[in-house]
Amino acid sequence: MKSDVTFIILGASGDLAKKKLLPAIYHLVQKGKVKNFGIIGVAFNVYSAEELFERSREYIKNVDNKLFNKIKKRFHYFQADFNDEEKICNLGFFVRQIESKYKLKGNRMFYLSTLPSNYKAIIDNLTKCSLTDEKKNWARVVFEKPFGDNLNDAKEINKCIHKAFDEEQIYRIDHYLGKELVQNISVVRFTNIFFEPIWNKDFIEEVQFIMSEEYGVENRGKFYDNYGAVKDVFQNHMLQLLALTTMESPSKFTSEDIRDNKVKVLKKVRVDKKKVLGQYQGYTKEKGIKKNSKTETFAALRMFVDNKRWRDVPFNFITGKKMKDKITSIVIKFKNTNCNMFSQCNFNPNNLTIQIQPNEGFYMALNAKVPDSNKIQSVKMDFCHECTFGPNTPEAYENLLYDVIKGDHSAFIRNDEIEEQWKITEKITKTKLYSYKKGTYPKEADKMTNWHLNLN
């Protein structure tokens, strides 16, 4: 599918624009998915268009300078205060000038790469100035997480958005849903006949969701200190992975069917009392962090899904900063079989690892007989994503921006999903913070389960 589009990035001077959005647009153009386009960056401070666009160069692998410069010529900058109605109305005139210059149809993607505190002003002024009501063409508005600070905040944001836009115009991004391996979860479950019959409490002992990072808060200190690991990672990324792993098979695999089924399973999630929270040593000395901060940088949590398929199966979550490795994976641990073949019955149960990063792929641990003995050894069958499909598979934001252009909501979050995720998160009470050193995690978490924290 090829389309023309005007990309309007509100908050174009931020890290997201230079590291993710502009490189994603570059790749969409490079692959011919977008043929005719204009890019308008909007921010508060004064910049030149060339200066802003050049910032993205270092984040594009194997950049083609000729193509980069061609795209740069179609990048334009508009300085505006989001609260200034007159400025935003002038932005409307500027957008129409750019569309006329490049003979664009008027299909517009507004990407709000800003804090939620700016949403109301931006939404009000976009609608007052008629930037989103082109009748013959589409106007789609993309919102970045976080979607509020709590359930009430999320409801207010959704209420504000719905006053101005229909749900079909709204795209709430959780970038994890754009990752190739995350998009493969449903494919693996529902298109491989040997998995679906055993994807339930009768055959699965436990499921682990792992999202560890080796770095600290870096330049996000002030923001992170108001959120912590539970709100920053578990509330969105990890609960979305849970929903995709546990939902029932959608009847039609339309975006609405998929999102309906995710909401249904999220409503059945029960928060268990078992949890461990931690804070890495030196956190309170980081820039932007309160000296007496009690914000957690580590969380080990347990959930249950109280429905027929999953009753009594523990879903264990572990996430943290300054741990040993950067790993994002889902580990499905199957139940053990009855041992009646050999005298030595010390083999491991099967498990399936969905490795989201690094070394993207699927890894299945099976048991096999060691030659010339009666011993059993665990062996690995693996699917390496890059080995099969090559190194140039799309990045998450490239997938997501293209989905917006196509009008596909499958990888985007609906307002009721967000609210269910906040309902779950708000049931997680604060508890004692355990201190841990860089490259480790609180060992109290090992009492919950045997974590699969090694890279495959």
pLDDT (mean) for 301-325: 97
Residue 384 has pLDDT above 80, yes or no: no
User: How many CB atoms are located within 10 Å of the residue 56 CB?
Assistant: 23
pLDDT (mean) for 393-408: 88
Residue partners of 104: CB distance under 8 A and separation at least 6:
4, 5, 6, 36, 37, 38, 98
- Answer with the residue of higher pLDDT: 387 or 53: 53
- Answer with the residue of higher pLDDT: 282 or 251: 282
Residue 253, pLDDT score:
78
In angstroms, the CA 306 to CA 122 distance is 40
Give the start-end residues of each E strand in 234-350.
Answer: 269-280, 298-305, 315-320, 327-334
Residues 261 and 345 reside in one and the same domain: yes
Residues 212 and 343 reside in one and the same domain: yes
Residue 456 has pLDDT above 50, yes or no: no
Residue 451 has pLDDT above 70, yes or no: yes
Q: CATH code at 224?
A: 3.30.360.10
Q: Is residue 233 part of a domain?
A: yes
List, for residues 221-242, the tens digit of each pLDDT value: 888 999 999 999 999 999 999 9
Q: Is residue 383 part of a domain?
A: yes
Q: Which of 96, 124, 144 is the last residue of a domain?
A: 144
Which member of 27, 76, 237, 385 is catalytic?
237
Residues 135 and 181 reside in one and the same domain: no
Lookup: tokens for 38: 């204009």
In angstroms, the CA 438 to CA 290 distance is 20
Output helix, strand, coil percentages for the chain, rounded to the nearest 5: 40, 25, 40
Q: Which of 144, 169, 185 is the last residue of a domain?
A: 144
Q: CATH code at 137?
A: 3.40.50.720
Q: Is residue 325 part of a domain?
A: yes
Q: Is residue 217 part of a domain?
A: yes
178-182, 185-189, 409-413: which is most confident:
409-413
Residue 278 has pLDDT above 70, yes or no: yes
> What is the C-alpha radius of gyration for the chain, rounded to an integer number of angstroms?
24
- Answer with the residue of higher pLDDT: 388 or 65: 65
Q: Is residue 394 part of a domain?
A: no
List, for residues 190-208, the tens digit of each pLDDT value: 888 888 889 999 999 999 9
Residue 1 has pLDDT above 50, yes or no: no
In angstroms, the CA 26 to CA 32 distance is 10
- Domain of residue 48, residue span: 3-144
List, for residues 32-72, the tens digit of each pLDDT value: 999 999 999 999 988 899 999 999 999 998 999 999 999 99
Residues 211 and 353 reside in one and the same domain: yes
149 φ, ψ (degrees, to nearest 5): -110, -15
Residues 188 and 305 reside in one and the same domain: yes
Burial of 200 (0-12, 13-18, 19+ CB in 10 A): middle
Residues 81 and 203 reside in one and the same domain: no
Instruction: Specify whether 175 is catalytic.
Output: no
Residue partners of 84: CB distance under 8 A and separation at least 6:
125
Number of domains, the chain: 2
Q: Is residue 157 part of a domain?
A: no
CA torsion angle for 14, 18, 22, 24 (degrees, to 10)? -110
Q: Is residue 162 part of a domain?
A: no
Q: Which helix (H) or strand (E) holds 170?
A: strand 170-173
Residues 212 and 135 reside in one and the same domain: no
Q: Is residue 408 part of a domain?
A: no
pTM: 0.89
Residues 127 and 255 reside in one and the same domain: no
Q: Which of 144, 166, 201 is the last residue of a domain?
A: 144
List, for residues 90-118, the tens digit of each pLDDT value: 999 999 999 999 999 999 999 999 888 88
pLDDT (mean) for 146-157: 90
Residues 105 and 190 reside in one and the same domain: no
Residues 238 and 336 reside in one and the same domain: yes
Residues 139 and 10 reside in one and the same domain: yes
Residue 355, pLDDT score:
87
Residue % of the chain over a pLDDT of 90: 66
pLDDT (mean) for 376-382: 73
Question: Quick one: pLDDT band at residue 346, thresholds 50, 70, 90?
Answer: low
List, for residues 242-266, the tens digit of each pLDDT value: 999 999 988 887 888 999 999 999 9
In angstroms, the CA 119 to CA 113 distance is 10
Residues 236 and 358 reside in one and the same domain: yes
